[in-house]
């Protein structure tokens, strides 16, 4: 049997998943996206008590069941504290080097549903002002988020509704090129390039009804 797939559909759903903020522990929105897509294709979707989604795709025979798993969560961060100057200290969600997120854009997702944007910087972001900034160790205590808001104090930030424990997602910067290359930063990819496009690319294929199966069960 010839294997074929609707590449346009696969890339479309992959882009949709990659562009949905989903640091580990903050996956409600992306799971809703997966549910809607699965149900649009006529599949049943069940959400478990722990937030996992089960998509059932019937085969020709019910004599056996095959399970294929994947994850939709990503690396991210969380607000650790708010400084007196209105900056956010962060803690990582997942394993990555702090140098990998330096100068990246991010979003802060509050418990009240607001979304604020900012930039992740070191506490000494300029070599012109801080001559030894190149030597600064890139660790959590030396990183902070500068909000795209007019804030000058901890109280200003709290007025926005931002609190310790709010999730932070990184700008995925997804690029899907006509030649087939798909790019996203270091935290948005994983095994293939030592980064995590892995399970998302798998998931986009799993929920596609446009695939011709190698074998019907």
Examine the pLDDT at 195 and tell me if it is beyond 60: no
Residue 195 DSSP SS3: strand
Mean pLDDT of 176-198: 61
Which residue, among 204, 175, 217, 193, has the nearest Cα to 70 in the 3D structure? 204
Q: Residue 127: pLDDT above 70?
A: yes
Q: Give kind and range of the element (H or E) at residue 94.
A: none
The answer, yes or no, to whether residue 107 has pLDDT greater than 70, is yes
Say yes or no: 109 and 161 in one domain. yes
**Which residues have C-beta within 8 Å of that of residue 185, sequence separation ≥ 6?**
100, 104, 170, 171, 172, 173, 195
Residue 192's pLDDT is: 30
DSSP codes of every residue in 122-177? ESS--TTT-TTGGGS--SGGGEEEEESS---SHHHHHHTT--TT-EEEE----EE-
How many domains does the chain fold into? Answer: 2
- Average pLDDT (122-149) is 95
Check whether residue 164 and residue 206 sit in a common domain. no
Residue 142's CB is within 10 A of a number of other CB atoms, namely: 16
Q: Is there a single domain that holds both residue 128 and residue 162?
A: yes
Same domain, 139 and 206: no
Neighbours of 22 (CB within 10 A): 24
pLDDT tens digits, residue range 160-176? Answer: 999 999 999 999 999 98
The answer to whether residue 106 sits within a structural domain is: yes
83 and 123 together in one domain: yes
Q: Is the pLDDT of residue 149 over 90?
A: yes
Tell me, what's the pLDDT at 188? Answer: 55
Expressed as residue numbers, the domain containing 136 is: 76-170
Q: What is the mean pLDDT of residues 114-121?
A: 98
pLDDT-based confidence at 1, cuts 50/70/90? Answer: low
Instruction: For residues 55 and 4, state if they share a domain.
Output: yes
Rounded to two decimals, the pTM is: 0.83
pLDDT band at 71 (very low <50, low <70, confident <90, very high): confident
């Amino acid at each position: 049997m010839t294997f074929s797939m609707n590449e346009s559909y696969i890339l479309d759903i992959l882009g949709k998943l990659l562009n949905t903020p989903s640091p580990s522990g903050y996956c409600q929105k992306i799971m809703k996206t997966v549910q809607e897509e699965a149900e649009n294709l006529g599949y049943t979707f069940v959400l478990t008590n722990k937030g996992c989604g089960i998509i059932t795709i019937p085969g020709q025979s019910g004599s056996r069941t095959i399970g294929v798993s994947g994850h939709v969560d990503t690396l991210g961060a969380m607000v650790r504290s708010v400084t007196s100057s209105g900056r956010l200290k962060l803690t990582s969600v997942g394993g990555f080097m702090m140098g990998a997120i330096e100068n990246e854009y991010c979003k802060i997702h509050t418990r009240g549903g607001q979304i604020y944007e900012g930039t992740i910087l070191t506490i000494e972001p300029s070599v012109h002002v801080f001559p030894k900034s190149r030597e600064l160790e890139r660790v959590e205590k030396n990183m902070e988020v500068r909000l795209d808001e007019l804030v000058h104090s901890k109280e200003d930030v709290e007025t926005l509704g931002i609190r310790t424990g709010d999730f932070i997602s990184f700008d995925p910067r997804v690029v899907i090129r006509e030649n087939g290359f798909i790019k996203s930063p270091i935290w948005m990819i994983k095994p293939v390039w030592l980064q995590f496009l892995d399970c998302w690319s798998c998931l986009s294929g799993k929920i596609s009804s446009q695939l011709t199966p190698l074998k019907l069960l």
